[in-house]
Amino acid sequence: MDGMILAAAQMAARAGDVAGNAAVHLHYAEAAAGHGVELLVFPELSLTGYELGLAREHVVEPSAAVLNALREVAARSAMHIVMGAPLAAPDGGLHIGAIVLRADGWVCTYRKIHVHVSERGVFQPGRGGDDLPLGGASVALAICADASQPGHAAEASARGVGVYAVGAMIDEGAYPRKSALLEGYARGHGMAVLLANYAGETGGEVSGGRSAVWQEDGEVVAMAQGREPALVVAFAENGVWSGLVQPMVGCL
């Protein structure tokens, strides 16, 4: 990979507080812009918290005014910002989705394909979304359980993507298994893999934290230690990766 700067936002969300969480997203986005980040990914349902019982009351429209400041940062910094939110489905149902504020000013969405059994009382499966352009590469998005399906990553690899980017809520018990899958995708498919997991607690669950970026051979470029709020940044230049973890003080 010639040149690319990726970041995972390990953030804590306030239950159902879209405006307050958007302000926290903005803090992360400004920090990411300071590192020249081109792709910033937040956890699953990051704008509301992983709060299944609150989803119907807090559907987020991709054009919502509460996201205007983030749109400005995305455009000013030439950065794709990927945020999690409940999205309205055309038939009146709900999707677990990602709102993507693209660096070129366009807004698009990704809708979770593989809805977990615990989510099916609220959400229905979506159809995914388009890959994102990033320099000379492309990025495939995934939301949590999508990345638990090896075929999802394999299909992304078959399309020739360079980055597989996952926003998730992974608890402590599931973290070893799911992180091993992501490491395996990096090594097996020769693509960089990014995980944005929660800090702290959300929806009554304790996150496993440890958001990370793995390079194409499966080696960790950078990983948050524990579940404290952090920005995990990975730099690729002429095929060489380096990384850093920036603590996000005051974001819990």
Q: How far apart are CA 51 and CA 49, in angstroms?
A: 5
Place of tokens 């495939």: 140
Average pLDDT estimate for 167-179: 97
Specify if 86 maps to a domain: yes
Buried b vs exposed e over 36-52: b needs ≥16 C-beta within 10 Å? ebbbbbbbbbbbbbbbb
pLDDT at 249: 82
Specify if 157 maps to a domain: yes
Average pLDDT estimate for 93-114: 97
Specify if 42 maps to a domain: yes
Specify if 252 maps to a domain: no
Residue 1: pLDDT above 60?
A: no
Specify if 44 maps to a domain: yes
**Tell me, what CATH number does 24's domain have?**
3.60.110.10
Specify if 43 maps to a domain: yes
Q: How far apart are CA 36 and CA 180, in angstroms?
A: 29
Q: How far apart are CA 33 and CA 73, in angstroms?
A: 8
Specify if 183 maps to a domain: yes
Strand partners, 192: 163
Domain span holding position 203:
3-247
User: 185 with 170: CB under 8 angstroms?
Assistant: no
Sequence-distant (≥ 6) Cβ neighbours of residue 177 within 8 angstroms: none
Largest Cα span, the chain: 47
- What type of residue sits at position 138? S
Report how many domains make up the chain. Answer: 1
Specify if 242 maps to a domain: yes
- Please compute Rg for the chain using Cα positions: 16
What is the overall mean pLDDT for the chain? 96
Residue 163: pLDDT above 90?
A: yes
Q: What percent of the chain has pLDDT over 90?
A: 96
Q: How confident is the model at residue 135 (pLDDT cuts 50, 70, 90)?
A: confident
Sequence-distant (≥ 6) Cβ neighbours of residue 72 within 8 angstroms: none
SS3 14: coil
Instruction: Give just the sign of the alpha carbon dihedral 26, 27, 31, 34.
Output: positive
pLDDT at 251: 72
